[in-house]
Amino acid sequence: MLQKIAEAVDFIKKIYNEKPALGIVLGSGLGSFVNEINIEKEIPYKDIPHFPVSTVEGHSGKLIFGELAGKKIVAMAGRFHYYEGYSSEQIVFPIRVLKFLGIDTLLVSNAAGAVNPNFKVGDLMIITDHISQLSPNPLIGKNYKELGPRFPDMSEPYKKHLINKVKAIAAEKNIKLKEGVYVAVTGPTFETRAEYKMILTLGGDAVGMSTVQEVITAVHMGLPVFAMSVITDVGIREDDTVITHEEVLQAAKDAEPNFKILICELIAQL
């Protein structure tokens, strides 16, 4: 594992040799965030040793290096999901590589379904905490102490100081924000009506098929995380509508302007 990380890092550094201050993982439908970046280098995942390759529509599959709000950043345009058939270890590999490229902060975004009855399509939700128990923990297996401890503390996976910064930015820019607990599931099915209710009962506000494994890995390595969901559908509903991936992508696109404002300003203030 350590060898694989080193090989990927060496390969990337031969192409782009500046230390990014932060990394951002772009979720479904949020890919056009890359237009905000003054791009210096793009590296397709398929070229990077040991990187998995993304298969989902709406996820293009490359690392983008460049400048945003005066900071050097690296964006993951496209991420890996358990439902694609990747192991947890493959899913989190890029996060480990970003850490060894030198990032000090990880920003994570995703599309999620609401179970909180006060949420609606298009809302932005700051993730304040998560429940990972419905998806496999990426740290199962040998622990590499060079990466982090066997039993990482998870009492504050999403850093309060970053959450508070974003809340202040939202208040100043008059952007309405929700906050809540993200429940990770494997997918690829959207939930049944009974499952959405179960997720609410468990203490969830939103549910999605990503993020938590990446965040656990970041916390393991001592990397501060901020994460935000775009609410793309409402799980608990009486009507007989169905949820489609196209709808999820469109809702995420619609919410993108406010997402961009918040994230760009957060990056400027870091």
Residues in touch with ligand HPA (CB under 6 A) = 111-113, 185, 187, 190-191, 207-209, 232-233, 235, 243, 248
Identity of the residue, 12 or 212, whose beta carbon is nearer to ligand HPA in the bound complex: 212
Least Cβ distance, residue 243 to ligand HPA (angstroms): 6
Identity of the residue, 55 or 143, whose beta carbon is nearer to ligand HPA in the bound complex: 55
Identity of the residue, 112 or 227, whose beta carbon is nearer to ligand HPA in the bound complex: 112
- 109 with 228: CB under 8 angstroms? yes
Least Cβ distance, residue 190 to ligand HPA (angstroms): 5
Identity of the residue, 17 or 241, whose beta carbon is nearer to ligand HPA in the bound complex: 241
Give the whole-angstrom CA distance, residue 79 versus residue 65.
16
Nearest to residue 135, comparing CAs of 104, 92, 171?
92
Least Cβ distance, residue 241 to ligand HPA (angstroms): 12
Q: Which residue is nearest to ligand HPA (CB)?
A: 113
Identity of the residue, 163 or 209, whose beta carbon is nearer to ligand HPA in the bound complex: 209
Alpha-carbon Rg of the chain, whole angstroms?
17
Identity of the residue, 76 or 248, whose beta carbon is nearer to ligand HPA in the bound complex: 248
Q: How many CB atoms lie within 10 A of CB 129?
A: 16
CA 207, 213, 218, 219 torsion-angle sign: positive
- 154 with 227: CB under 8 angstroms? no
Three-state secondary structure readout of 30-83: CHHHHHHCEEEEEEEHHHCCCCCCCCCCCCCCEEEEEEECCEEEEEEECCCCHH
Give the whole-angstrom CA distance, residue 5 versus residue 27.
23
Least Cβ distance, residue 95 to ligand HPA (angstroms): 20
Least Cβ distance, residue 87 to ligand HPA (angstroms): 20
197-210: b (≥16 Cβ within 10 Å) or e: ebbbeeebbbbbbb
Least Cβ distance, residue 186 to ligand HPA (angstroms): 10
